[in-house]
Every structure is written in structure tokens, then in C-alpha cells.
Structure 1
Amino acid sequence: MSNLIKSLEASLYHGFINEAHEHAGNYRPKLLVNQSTKNEDVLTSIRNEMENCRSFLFSVAFITESGLATLKSLFLDLKQKGVTGRILTSTYLIFNHPKVFRELMKITNVRVRLASVKGFHAKGYIFEHDAYYSLIVGSSNLTAQALQVNYEWNIKLTSHENGEIVHHFKNQFEEVWANSEILTEEWIEQYEKTYAEEKKTNEQVYDFPVGYQTNPIQEALKIQPNKMQDAALKEIQALRDEGKNKGLVISATGTGKTYLSAFDVRRFAPKKMLFIVHREQILQKAMKDFQLILGGLSHEFGILSGTSKQTDAKYIFATIQMLSKDDTLYQFATDEFDYILVDEVHKAGAMSYRKVINYFQPKFLMGMTATPERTDDFNIYELFDYNIAYEIRLQEALEEDMLCPFHYFGVRVFQYNGQTIDDATALSHLVADERVDHIIDKITYYGYSGDSVKGLMFCSRKKEAKHLSVLLNARGLRTVALTGDDSQEERIRCVTQLENGLLDYILTVDIFNEGIDIPCINQIVMLRQTQSSIIFIQQLGRGLRKHDTKDYVTIIDFIGNYKNNYLIPIALSGDQSQNKDNVRRRMVDTSYIKGVSTINFEAVARKQIFKAINNCKLNAAKILKESYIGLKNRIGRVPYLYDFIINHSIDPCVIVEANKNYDLFLRKMRENKPGLSTYENQVLTMLSLEILNGKRKHEIILLERLLGQGTVTEEEYVAYLRKNGCMTDGRTMESIRRIFNLQFFTEVDRKKYGNQPIVLFEENQYKFNAEIRNGVAEHPYFRMLVEDVVMTAEEKSKEYECGRALKLYEKYTRKDVCRLLNWSNDEHSTMYGYKSKHNTCPIFVTYDKKEDVDSSVNYEDELLNPEVLKWYTKSNRTLKSQEVKSILEADQNHTDIHIFIKKSDDEGTGFYYLGRAHPDQNTAHQTVMARKNLPVVCMNMILEQSVEDALYHYLTSNIDAD
């Protein structure tokens, strides 16, 4: 019987007879629901099936543009692999917009038909694999809401190709397909008329009665803040209640900072207010927003700019350029304004801003920005006395549904004569006809939401923008290039043309990164490499304002062979840890983006980013220094490791791995700190390199007690451990003692850590050795550094589980495994692929091996499915080898086999823990290495826990850079 059939039988038994069945099988029935708290959605399951199928069938009544966009890059990748599909849909309830049918026709490897069945309301997805089919059937149509957000029930079933159930579904599909209508342009034109008639019939128009008048203040008071604004207003008021007269609001672009400030002004009720901006084109919009929220008479609102001098108004909206002029500024008294707001306040490092801010003495000064992190050495936090009134970043704003959803597409950049286009490419190649064709192809395929495109294209240089605009216009598009050379009047004129549908695209170089509000933007095209996370988010943010003409914004990012590509997952996720493992996972597991937004990479583009991640050095001194200075600016003092944790900055482990301990790092940062003795430095290094990672809470708890009370009895310590749900068996307790007396470590490490026990265990008591006791008692700086490590380790330990040695899907080094499995000594240097000891056998697998790996160790280990690992022993082993026999008989001998896998050696020394496994003795067979005639034994390892979808997809996906 084949492995497939055995697995199917086990799956059916588990799913329909007994859920406690020992071997669940990989194909058990599964309920698919959207649960953001568990990072689960129906879309992920559909995408995973599509990526590995030979063909697919969709039967869905309703399709939206946004739902289709979630799969567009995947359709394209499948086309490259020769995979085709069919979609059966309908005009039921005239739900589907005509435009979605035109979008479907762009997908050339998918055939589409319209069901003729009356009341067609089916929702099912069928995927053909080798010898079996997967079915997803339930309530989810092909809409972004149904696939990612709505409460939906869908059942996923797997059937052998000869199974009756799949033939029922396929036959039903084929029956309807045979009698359906082929999707054509002529059909769409006819449907457009029907759709327009139906829409017209359903529209109702409401008019105010003749003579109806409103009170502007009463109407304004009816407008209430949203959830984010309400929370921010409370935080701002709390600042004032504490006697603070300054506050900084950090809020993602598009989250309503202007409305928020207007609500706070309404609450504050100043006698006179000043709103400062850096661009004149923002003034009118800001003033209108304030009028909407505050009400009042029109003469109470005035503009102070190069074209207007309304200085007597109650609410003045001024450009910094005009306000900072002597004859303008000094006509106002220093206390003239009770309330001053500074928009885009990260620019306040400029002399003009400082001049104005230093001159006025308002009762309250508010600054607003989306990007407080600057590269100009100006500390914006200091300007506001480190009072962060409120902060909400991109990911949180999306989760709160405050921004327009987006579909990000990382697409392959054009190659000229086999060479990737980049910022150093000759202009003639940047504007070559082939590149223009490539750009048009991508922006057409990925499309936009709404009736017409309203796009921004960010180029790398001025000449490129101007030449491309000419060439695009020659192809029928309506575009204009705007650069820093163009006047404000010209910029405003072009933006108005874009908004009114007279232009399709504005091509620009950086000038629209910020300070421009065009809510109708429905497509952003990035034709330049990512230079910084800040600029990336600024440009993406141009399209994130909600507008009634769009349901989402399309982001098309042309990705080439750029060394800074690693910044893309960092920018999208907001993860500033500089932890390479995190960056890699963010490429495959994008569950950090909530709602109906999606992140998609074409296969070639994805490989380019992984290549950049492999080659970058995230713990380089320059990166660490920038993170350090950024945090120091934010909190207004020298930060310590715990500060990095609570401020979601760089991972403290990244710092100590590059510097041994934090004191050595502070000295590199030229901080004037008291000196440590050689031994104190060695102890701090040991705690930093071995305890800081928080992977076992036992050592942290002991250190906390010793710092607090000096000595701890064994009974007290065990009681503390049990109170925290930690294991207290004899082997674990002995392991902890061997860590602190350094006997666990190699001779090299013992010397590095001071060569004497850090914690003594005498007469049933734990205590620091005399030198450390003196150090923590007499040297406040040393004690503070030790407490900082312990406090940080305590915070990091929350990622793990104290009641078990290892946590599924966390990363562990071979050294970690020796410690956590309670081995007496660190044997990582001799462990290699696996080692049996102390009734445990950890197995380490590098999934993608480099081509230059010696053939004698180039094993073809492979995850056959999320529950089965095809595994090879070391070479020169046979079925008669005692080592092999002990592994095959592990269950009988009560030996626990633990599986650890990493994607490649580029990930470093850490491996993902996949849990315990059991050898399938029936699959064990002797063979030879692929490239050397050496005997080796191959067997299947059956995992106790099925590998989670995101990690399985990451480990098995083909992401190697070309």
C-alpha cells in the first residue's frame, strides 16, 4: 500500500472516527476559518494549495477586484510553471462588477465561464495534485473579505484521485461548465448595460428640503472622533493634566492626524490657534478639515502664506516659509497663540522651524509626524521634552481599519541584455522601449481599484522621470513628470488634473514622499530601489488614505538585484529587531498585515530579496549605532537592553552577539561609564551570551532571587519554579547547577567566563561567589548591568514555555539543545547531524544545502508533507549499524527523538524546533549517497505535531537566489 493511501486512511480515521488516533495523517479534514488572533485565514490555505497543484478549478458566485488581486501574482507564477486553471462564476444578483470580468481576462492561464444555472451560488475550490485532489468547500466566495476577514466556514478535504467524493464535485463542475457561457469582451459589454440598469434602479437620492439650513457649530459637534482619535485625545489630555505643555503624536500617514488635532483644539478651546505646515498646498485642505470639526464663521479661519496674509483670524494656517520671516514673525506677541500645531514636525530641525518654535510661548505645543526617525542628527523627541502623547504605526492602523487596504506586489525588474536594471544603469537603458513595455505590462496586469487609474510613479532620477513620461504618453497614457525644479503652482495644477481624471500618472523623484494629500490615489509604482524603510513607508503611504472612489490601493514595486532589498520586509512588518531570522520569516509569513491587505512577491523578485537578506549584515556596527542613537533620542538618556525590548527596537541578543556584553557596546558608543573589573566583564559576558536569550526561565528566576535576597535555599527555589509552572525534576535542577558552576561549558568558554563558579550551591543553598557578591553590593554600575540582563531575559522568556524544555517552532542552536535537554556538557561541536544521549536524540537538518557541500554529507532530507520527514543517517551507516538500530528502536527504548530544521546555512546557527518524531520502521532501507558510493540508511520520521502552514511553506519553498 502506498504512503499516500496509508496517510489518507489515517487522516479519515482521525477526522471521522477518532480524533485521538495516534497517527493523524497529513490529509485529515480541516475546518478553515478567518481568525486574526491566530493569524489564520482561508486565503492562506488556498494559496498553499495553488502553489503545489498541477491544475485548479474554482466555482465561485461572487468575485471582487480585491479578492482577485490577492491571487494575481500567484496566477502569474503558475503560468511560468505551465499550471492552468478554470473559474466558473455567475451574474447572480448582479453582484460582480463588470470591471472584475475584464481583470479575469488578463489572467491568460485561467479560462473563465459564466454559469447558466439559475441562482448559481456555489463556493468551492478544487486542486489537482499527483494522485490526489484537495477540496475547499464552504461559504467563502472569491472576495477579500470572505477569504481574510469575515466569519466563514469552509471544510478542506483530501481525496485519492479514484475517490468517489472528488468525482462528485468534478462531475458537477463539468456539467455546469459544459452548459455555461464563455467570457468574452462582447459578453462584458452587454453585461455592463445590464449592470448599469440594475445600479440605476437601486439608487435612491436624498435631498434636503427647500429652505433647510444648518447651524455650522451644531453640525460640527455631531462629528465624533474614531477609535484611534478618541484614545489619542485621552492620552493628550493626560499629558496636560500632568502639567506638560508639549506633546508629540506619531501616527501613520492617512490615519487622520489633522482631524485628531482639530478634535483636540475643539476640546482645548484656545482664544487663538496657529497651525504650521511646510507646503502651501496643504493649507487649504487643513483649514477645511478644521472648519468641519470646529464649525464657526468663515472669517475666523485665515491663511498666512505667500499669497495670503490673514493675520487677524482666530485660527491661522501658516507656511513655515512665510511665518519665519522677521517682518511676519515679530508682528505677533510671543504669547499670541494659546495652541500651536506643527504638521510634519520631523522637519523641525531646520533653522526656520527652530526660530519660530523658540519664539512663541503657547500654553500647548503639539507636533505631528508619521516618521520621527531622522537621519539629520536632529532629535525631534527632545524638542517635545520626550512626551509622546500617542503613537500608532502602519500595522496597527491597518488592523483598526483606519487606512485604505493595499495589495503590495513585488515584481521582477526589467533586465536589459541579461543585466538587471538598477539606479546606476545608463539612462538610455532606463528608457529603452523594452523596459517601458515591461512597466506597462505590470501596471496593466495588477491594475487598480476604481473606474480609472490615478497613479504615482516614483523614479530614481529626474531625467528618467521626464523621459519615461514622454514615452508613456506616446503609448496612450496621460502622464506628467514633476521634480524639485517645478514650482508649487505647477505641482498643485498637476495634482488637480490627476484628481479630476485629466491625468493617469504623475512621475516624480522624491518630492511626493510626504506633505501631499491625494486621497484618490489608487496605484503606486516604485521604479527605484529601496534606500530606507522610512522613505519606503512614506511612498507607500501616499495611497493609504481612504476615498469613496477606491476599495484598495495597488502598490507595484519593481525589485532588482539591490543590496538594500532586505529593507522591504523590515519596512512592511515594522520589525526593527535586526534579527535575520525574523526578516526571513516576514517574507513568507505576512500575517502581521491585518484586514484585507496582502503582500505578494513574484517568484523572481522573492529570490532577489532573499539573496539580499543572505548577504546583508544586520549586526554591522553602523546599523547598531543608528538603532542606539535613535532609541537614545527617543527616551532622552542612555538606553539599556531592556529599553530596546519595551520600545520594540533592535533585539538585545543581536547587540551582545556582536559585542559580548552591553558594557563593551556602550564603550564603542563612547559613553562615559564606570569601569568594570576583568572578572565582572567576564561574568557579564556569560550572562549576556547564555541567559539573555530567555530560552529557559529557571536560570532567570534564580538570578532574580539572588539579586533580591542574596541567598536562596533549594526548597525556596523549587517553590518559585513551581509557582511559575517550571519543571523541577532532578535532571533539570542538576543542569541549572552545571550552567552556573560552568561545568556544562567547554574549556574555551569556561576561560571566557572567568573559570570559576558564578553561583555556588553549598549546604542546600544557592549564592553568588564572593567576588560577584562584592560586585553587586559595591559597584552600582555592575549591578545595574546584571539586573538589566536579567530583566531583559525575563521579558524574552515570555516567548517560551517554562513547563517544557522546547517550544514548537522556536529557534535553537545545537548548544541550546544540549542545555535544554539537560545534557551534562556542551557537545555541540561534535553533534553534527544528530547524536543520541541521555535518552534523547536531537536531529538537525539543513533543508537547502549549498552546492559546494561535500557529497559525503549532502543528504537529501525532505519534508514529504507537514507530518513526515524523509531523513538520512550519516554516511557509512547500514541497517546493521548499532547507531541506526538505536534510532529505529527509539520508541521501544524510551528515547525521545527531536527534529530541528533550518532553511539554509545563511540563517546562522539556529534551527526551528518541529517537535518529537517517531521512526517509521517499515520505511527504513539502505541506499547509497547520491554523489558518492557510500552506504546510508533512509527512513521516514513521523512528526507528533503537523508543521504549521507558514513555517512548512517557508521551509519547502524554492527561495534560493539565482
Structure 2
Amino acid sequence: MAEKIVRPILTYADEAHHSSADSYKKIMNYFKPRLWLGMTATPDKRDDNLEGRNIYEIFNHQIAYEIRLQDAMKEDLLCPFHYFGITDLEVIADAGKSSEEKFENFKYLTSDERVLNVMKQAKFFGYSGERVKGLIFCSRIDEARELSAKFNEKGWRTLVLSGSDSETVRAAAVERLAGDEAEDALDYIISVDIFSEGVDVPEINQVIMLRPTESPIIFIQQLGRGLRKAEDKEYVVVIDFIGNYRNNFMIPIALSGDRSYNKDNIRRYVTEGGRVIPGASTIHFDEISRKRIFQAIDNANFNDIKLIRENYMNLKNKLGHIPALADFDKYGEMDVLRIFDNNSLGSYYKFLVKYEKEYTTRLSKDEETVIEFVSKKLANGKRIHELEMLKRLLKYQNGIMDLLKKSLHDNYNCSMNDNCAENVVNMMTNEFPTSAAKKTYSQCVFLEKDGSDYKVSKLFSEMLQNKDFYRILEELIDFGILRYKDNFSMRYQDTDLVLYQKYTYEDACRLLNWKRNEVPLNIGGYKYDKKTKTFPVFINYDKQDDISDTTKYEDHFTSSDHLIAISKSGRSIESEDVQNFLKAKERGIDVQLFVRKNKDDKISKEFYYLGRMTSTGAVKEFVMPNTDKTAVEIEWALDTPVREDIYEYIVNG
């Protein structure tokens, strides 16, 4: 009688990111369940070449449940942690060697000075519980063994585990670390393989990171080893020794969960500390570590093609197909605006043409330019008007302005005055850009006059006959509308601006309904637009050391709702712009404040919008240092006090 094969209903695979390994394949090929259930904390782990079968493909791209660090902390599923980013030991350099090169050198990694410093900091920051049950992460097996020997000589009880150790060795080490036996106990396990499944111990109450952070995924994997809840464990202490490593900025990205790769956002996360983590957890960076991370952020290129491709492949592997634009937001991957902002790309379409073999759609040069224009200028969702107009243009030939006004009123509870209508039309007919910029998007004329209203332009109407172009544009418009609803629909008072969102000079000119854009050089610190009677003030809070004395103004907050701002040089109290500031209310002039922390950020170039402000009447004329130019100091009262986290970042970050 033939042996009866039992087909299980469900088979469970732990550490499922190993499913492509031969050992796992044998098991998965043997059992034929109705359902395989895989569990892993690192589903994105794959080969460096980004090719081949991935974990999502093996499980048919079916994701039963996914939870990220932020959500897990919010749901109280994990133990609170106290993270301390502290300075790794500075060792006297060999001539001509950088700090990064030094710490790649074995003798510096295992020097007596470094060993003593690690032990000192571990004692200082402490742990939760009666005795330390710690885990140390190292980069190399030789480093781990040497450190273990030196730690043991100086009184710690440590042991090295790596992927080459057997399950029996791992289990014995874990029992010695987690158990209550004092005689044979371990204080620390030193782990070399970051994904080593053998060091998953709920009792761990201190994690020490002695290796550079290479990616947010790896960092969270390290952190997660200490986040399991256990009896008599209130929290876990995480001590991260931060050196001058190129990817230091990965730490705040991992802790915040923000994959936008926006430099200013990352700087703010470093400054805000525990505000980015729900619950009782805290985050602290010492001053030198903070400076090192800021330096790494300054040097990083977040529009780098390699970074974009890696994030794209993460998402494609997860989905099993070319991602739609909305998928980047839905699954928490890189902000697709990084693709739009890349000067060699400009649109998702162009990225796919260059780097996706499966993508066969091709547009004409003019169609490609229109897609780039909408991607770069409108798809961020900072205003709904142009996006809704494009939505109407896809379906209707004429009566466009009347249709737009009705849509704005019915769907978004916003109106459109004459200045706004003119600005929108200028945006959609290539009349808004500066003279130098008009040529770039000369084909982006979507409207033409039709009596008292507007209709679709002949050129754009012809483009819409291409089904591929229509589909790409429609997806882009819908993406922008979603961005608006998520980020820019909570408008401030009667403006089209949102408090604490970030805007470029061009954004401000457009959203304040100026007839034409102005180049930043013509705006300087402020510019008055007579037609709209708007008077935006732009402040760079951190000044460069090498700027001229005539532009080195000491603008500063005196509190969260009061600001001292300096006029342009060569001004007196009687100057027209100063008088417009001082008498703004009686003259019906709308003064609005935009502040950015770092002028050097060449990618975002954005200011935080902080609302309207009014002169208090306190004013002082003075001669600027080292010049014969006068300027005027004006005190302002903000209509809305600056939110605490933004204020702290701008003033103290």
C-alpha cells in the first residue's frame, strides 16, 4: 500500500528572508501546504546586484501584515528604549589619514583607549534591571575577538558569536546571558553577523553599537534585538558610538521612519530627539555626534541615482511589478519627489525609460517635457488649482475656468479671486516663469482664450490623443491631488499656504498669486508685490560666515511669537519698504514670514512658512558694522506662535 502523503493546511517559516537559500528551498519544495506563512524582520534583504528572486516573490507578493517601528512603539508592542548617540573615540591620526580611514584600521578599532571608553560609557548610561545583559555589534570577527579578550581582561564577561557558530553554542551563550546564574553569567554577547538569529534575547537591556550604520534597515535590525519585552525590564539602553562615517545620516532616517530623504527634515529629527518616537522612548545625540551627522547630511546626495534605484528595487520586489507613483507613499518607500528633483531625470517616466528594462512606453519630446513640467512644478500638491484644472482638461474641451471654480468650491471649499485666476492661467500658459525659464517649458501651454473663458490648447489636445501620454499624465495628476489632500489641504486662514510646510521662492510667488515669478536675487530678504499687496519676508536663520557685511543681518526670534528682522542695507525709517512694513495694516498690505535654517541646502532650497506677522512699532535705525550703510531693525509679532519643535530647531538646532 502506497504511503499516504498528508498535505498540511499551513506551514510556518521563521526568518523567511532566508527562503531563497538552498536549505530553505529543500524544505519548501518538500512540504506542499495550502498556505506558506513567512515571518521576517528584514524582508528587503537581497543580493547586492539587486537581481534575482526575492522574499516577496517567493511568497507570491502577498503581505499578510506589516508593521514599522513607529507603529509598533505607538501600539506598545515593544519595550521603550533610550538611545544615546555619542562620539566615538578620537585617536591620534596617522599622517594623512582621515578619521574614517583610521577606524577601518584594526589597531584603532581595538585600541586600549577605545576599550576603556566603551566600558566607561556603558557604565555611565546604565541599564534596566539587576545586572547588565548586553549585546555589542561589531563589523569584523577579528575585531570582536580582540575586543572580547580585552573586555574580559578588564573585568567584563563577554563572548563572541557569529554566523559560523552552531545552534548549540548559540543557545548556551544566550542561556548564560539571559539567565540568573551569577557564577557562569555573561555580561555581553558580541555579535558580528547583524542578521544572526541566535541573538534574539528578550532580556537584553543594553545594546552597544560599535559599527557604522550602513542603512536604515540594518540599524532597525540592530535596535530591534533589544526591543523585546521581558519581566523586570522597563526599557533598553542603546549606546551608539558615532564616528566620522559617510552614512551617519542613516541613523535619524531609521529612527524617524521618514524615507523622504529631505535634508532639512533629517536635520530636524536629529534636533528633536524623542519627539519623533511615540511613547516613553527618548533619543539623544551629543554635540559632536550631532555635528558629524549634520556634516554627513551636508555631504550626502539624496538625488543620487544609486540611492533612487535601490529604493525603487525595494518597492518593485515587494509588489512584483513596476510600482505606480502612489505606491511609493502607500508602502513608505523613498519620496518619489527625489526622482523629480534629479536634474538628469525630472520625472518618473524618464527614470523608467532609463533604468527599467520591462518598461516599453515611449513619448515624444514635447510629451516628455509636459510630464516633466507637471512632475517638477505641480505634482508636489502644494496647490490644488492647477491639478484640478488639468483634471478638467482631460475630459472637457472648453468652459474650463467655470468648471474649475465649481470644482474648487464643491470639493475643496476654496475660492479663486481675480489675482489667483490670473496666476493660475499664467502658470498654465507659460507666462508665469521668468524670461530665462520660459524657453525650458515652451511647449507647456495647456490653455487658450475662448471668449470670456478658456479652452484646451490645440497642442495639448493633440497630445491627449496619445493613450500612453494620457495615462501617465492622469496618474501624475492623481498623485499630486493625493499629496495635496495629505499635506497641503489644511490652509492657513484665507491663504493657499500651510503652516510649517516648506516652500521655495518660486512656490511663494505662485501661491501668493504674483503675476510673474521672481528670481531669488531680486527678492533678497523680501519683496513687495503692488498688484496683490503681498509682502513676503524670507529669512535665512543660519548665516554663512563669508557673506558681506551689508547682507549679514542679525534676524532673530526673541520668543516663539516675536521676531527681530533687519531691513535691506541702505534703508532708513523713511524708506518706502520700511514704511510699508510699519504701516502694513492701514495700507492693507499682507506681510508673511518664511524662514529656513540652512541656506546651503542645494537640493530642497525651501523655507518653513510661519504665517502672517505685524510690526509692533518698535523700530531702530543703525549703521551696519564695517560699512557706512544704514539699516532698520523692526520688531514683529507673529499672528500664530511658532510650533515648539519647529521653533527649537530653527533657534537652537
Same fold (TM over 0.5): yes
Summarize the alignment of residues 730-741 of structure 1 with structure 2, pairs less than 5 Å apart. 730-741=418-429
Who is 1:606 aligned against? Answer: 290
Following superposition, the deviation at residue 836 of structure 1 comes to 0.8
Taking structure 1 as reference, are residues 678 and 717 closer, same or farther at Cα in structure 2, changes over 3 Å only? same
Taking structure 1 as reference, are residues 366 and 485 closer, same or farther at Cα in structure 2, changes over 3 Å only? closer
Summarize the alignment of residues 495-506 of structure 1 with structure 2, pairs less than 5 Å apart. 495-501=174-180, 502-506=185-189
- Paired residue secondary structure (1:827): coil
Within the candidate set 503, 507, 513, 1:822 is matched to 513
| Residue 341 of structure 1 pairs with residue 12 of structure 2 | yes
Following superposition, the deviation at residue 423 of structure 1 comes to 6.8
Who is 1:630 aligned against? Answer: 314
For 2:414, give the aligned amino acid. C
Who is 1:760 aligned against? Answer: 448
- Paired residue secondary structure (1:493): helix
Between the aligned partners of 1:584 and 1:464, the Cα distance in structure 2 is 32
For 1:886, give the aligned amino acid. N
Summarize the alignment of residues 166-185 of structure 1 with structure 2, pairs less than 5 Å apart. none
Who is 1:304 aligned against? Answer: none
Summarize the alignment of residues 270-419 of structure 1 with structure 2, pairs less than 5 Å apart. 336-376=7-47, 377=51, 378-417=53-92
Q: Deviations over 1:595-632 (max 9, x none)?
A: 11111111221121111111111110001111111111
Following superposition, the deviation at residue 845 of structure 1 comes to 0.9
Who is 2:380 aligned against? Answer: 693
Following superposition, the deviation at residue 332 of structure 1 comes to 9.6
Who is 1:947 aligned against? Answer: 642
Residues 682 and 754, structure 1, Cα contact 8 Å, conserved in 2:
no
| Residue 479 of structure 1 pairs with residue 158 of structure 2 | yes
Tell me the TM-score normalized by structure 1.
0.63
Residues 392 and 400, structure 2, Cα contact 8 Å, conserved in 1:
no
Residues 422 and 560, structure 1, Cα contact 8 Å, conserved in 2:
no
Residues 526 and 557, structure 1, Cα contact 8 Å, conserved in 2:
yes
Following superposition, the deviation at residue 333 of structure 1 comes to 7.9
Residues 249 and 293, structure 2, Cα contact 8 Å, conserved in 1:
yes
Summarize the alignment of residues 712-791 of structure 1 with structure 2, pairs less than 5 Å apart. 712-723=399-410, 724-755=412-443, 757-776=445-464, 778-791=465-478
For 2:590, give the aligned amino acid. D
Who is 2:570 aligned against? Answer: 876
Who is 1:66 aligned against? Answer: none
- Paired residue secondary structure (2:586): coil
Taking structure 1 as reference, are residues 713 and 493 closer, same or farther at Cα in structure 2, changes over 3 Å only? closer
- Paired residue secondary structure (2:538): strand
Following superposition, the deviation at residue 402 of structure 1 comes to 0.8
Who is 1:586 aligned against? Answer: 269
| Residue 915 of structure 1 pairs with residue 594 of structure 2 | no
Summarize the alignment of residues 31-430 of structure 1 with structure 2, pairs less than 5 Å apart. 336-376=7-47, 377=51, 378-417=53-92, 420=99, 424-430=103-109
Following superposition, the deviation at residue 521 of structure 1 comes to 0.4
Residues 171 and 198, structure 2, Cα contact 8 Å, conserved in 1:
no
Following superposition, the deviation at residue 352 of structure 1 comes to 3.0
Residues 549 and 624, structure 2, Cα contact 8 Å, conserved in 1:
yes
| Residue 544 of structure 1 pairs with residue 227 of structure 2 | yes
Between the aligned partners of 1:498 and 1:817, the Cα distance in structure 2 is 58
Residues 148 and 158, structure 2, Cα contact 8 Å, conserved in 1:
yes
For 2:92, give the aligned amino acid. N
Residues 325 and 336, structure 2, Cα contact 8 Å, conserved in 1:
yes
Between the aligned partners of 1:432 and 1:600, the Cα distance in structure 2 is 26
Between the aligned partners of 1:673 and 1:420, the Cα distance in structure 2 is 47
State the identity as a percent.
39
Residues 867 and 946, structure 1, Cα contact 8 Å, conserved in 2:
yes
Following superposition, the deviation at residue 587 of structure 1 comes to 2.0
For 1:428, give the aligned amino acid. K
Q: Deviations over 1:84-105 (max 9, x none)?
A: xxxxxxxxxxxxxxxxxxxxxx
Residues 514 and 538, structure 1, Cα contact 8 Å, conserved in 2:
no
Residues 404 and 552, structure 1, Cα contact 8 Å, conserved in 2:
yes
For 1:919, give the aligned amino acid. S
Following superposition, the deviation at residue 675 of structure 1 comes to 2.0
Q: Deviations over 1:708-751 (max 9, x none)?
A: 34444433321211121113212111211111111111233322
Q: Deviations over 1:207-252 (max 9, x none)?
A: xxxxxxxxxxxxxxxxxxxxxxxxxxxxxxxxxxxxxxxxxxxxxx
Following superposition, the deviation at residue 434 of structure 1 comes to 2.4
Question: How many equivalent pairs are there?
Answer: 626
For 2:461, give the aligned amino acid. R
| Residue 528 of structure 1 pairs with residue 200 of structure 2 | no
Q: Deviations over 1:460-491 (max 9, x none)?
A: 22222222222222222222223345433222
Following superposition, the deviation at residue 871 of structure 1 comes to 1.0
Who is 2:243 aligned against? Answer: 560
Tell me the TM-score normalized by structure 2.
0.91
Taking structure 1 as reference, are residues 775 and 357 closer, same or farther at Cα in structure 2, changes over 3 Å only? farther
Within the candidate set 352, 370, 373, 1:666 is matched to 352
Between the aligned partners of 1:841 and 1:356, the Cα distance in structure 2 is 70
Residues 713 and 764, structure 1, Cα contact 8 Å, conserved in 2:
no
Taking structure 1 as reference, are residues 340 and 485 closer, same or farther at Cα in structure 2, changes over 3 Å only? closer
Answer with 1 or 2: which has the greater Rg.
1
Residues 561 and 642, structure 2, Cα contact 8 Å, conserved in 1:
yes
Between the aligned partners of 1:760 and 1:350, the Cα distance in structure 2 is 61
- Paired residue secondary structure (2:229): coil
Between the aligned partners of 1:512 and 1:360, the Cα distance in structure 2 is 26
Following superposition, the deviation at residue 358 of structure 1 comes to 3.6
Q: Deviations over 1:167-192 (max 9, x none)?
A: xxxxxxxxxxxxxxxxxxxxxxxxxx
Who is 1:19 aligned against? Answer: none
Residues 406 and 544, structure 1, Cα contact 8 Å, conserved in 2:
yes
Between the aligned partners of 2:627 and 2:483, the Cα distance in structure 1 is 45
Taking structure 1 as reference, are residues 421 and 645 closer, same or farther at Cα in structure 2, changes over 3 Å only? closer
For 2:466, give the aligned amino acid. H
- Paired residue secondary structure (2:247): helix
Higher relative contact order (Cα pairs below 8 Å, separated by 6+ residues): 2
Between the aligned partners of 2:625 and 2:248, the Cα distance in structure 1 is 35
- Paired residue secondary structure (1:391): coil
For 1:496, give the aligned amino acid. E
- Paired residue secondary structure (1:564): coil
Between the aligned partners of 1:902 and 1:513, the Cα distance in structure 2 is 43
Taking structure 1 as reference, are residues 754 and 411 closer, same or farther at Cα in structure 2, changes over 3 Å only? same
Following superposition, the deviation at residue 579 of structure 1 comes to 2.4
- Paired residue secondary structure (1:914): strand
Between the aligned partners of 1:664 and 1:334, the Cα distance in structure 2 is 52
Aligned-CA RMSD value: 2.1
Who is 2:279 aligned against? Answer: 595
Following superposition, the deviation at residue 956 of structure 1 comes to 1.1
Following superposition, the deviation at residue 844 of structure 1 comes to 0.8
| Residue 454 of structure 1 pairs with residue 454 of structure 2 | no
Summarize the alignment of residues 506-521 of structure 1 with structure 2, pairs less than 5 Å apart. 506-510=189-193, 513-514=196-197, 516-521=199-204
- Paired residue secondary structure (2:66): strand
Between the aligned partners of 1:513 and 1:411, the Cα distance in structure 2 is 25
| Residue 811 of structure 1 pairs with residue 494 of structure 2 | no
Residues 202 and 229, structure 2, Cα contact 8 Å, conserved in 1:
yes
Residues 162 and 196, structure 2, Cα contact 8 Å, conserved in 1:
no
For 1:825, give the aligned amino acid. R
Between the aligned partners of 1:828 and 1:364, the Cα distance in structure 2 is 60
| Residue 468 of structure 1 pairs with residue 147 of structure 2 | yes
Following superposition, the deviation at residue 828 of structure 1 comes to 3.0
For 1:775, give the aligned amino acid. M
Taking structure 1 as reference, are residues 463 and 665 closer, same or farther at Cα in structure 2, changes over 3 Å only? same
- Paired residue secondary structure (1:563): coil
Residues 484 and 511, structure 1, Cα contact 8 Å, conserved in 2:
no
Residues 100 and 245, structure 2, Cα contact 8 Å, conserved in 1:
no
- Paired residue secondary structure (2:329): helix
Q: Deviations over 1:639-672 (max 9, x none)?
A: 2322212222222221111122222111121443
- Paired residue secondary structure (1:445): helix
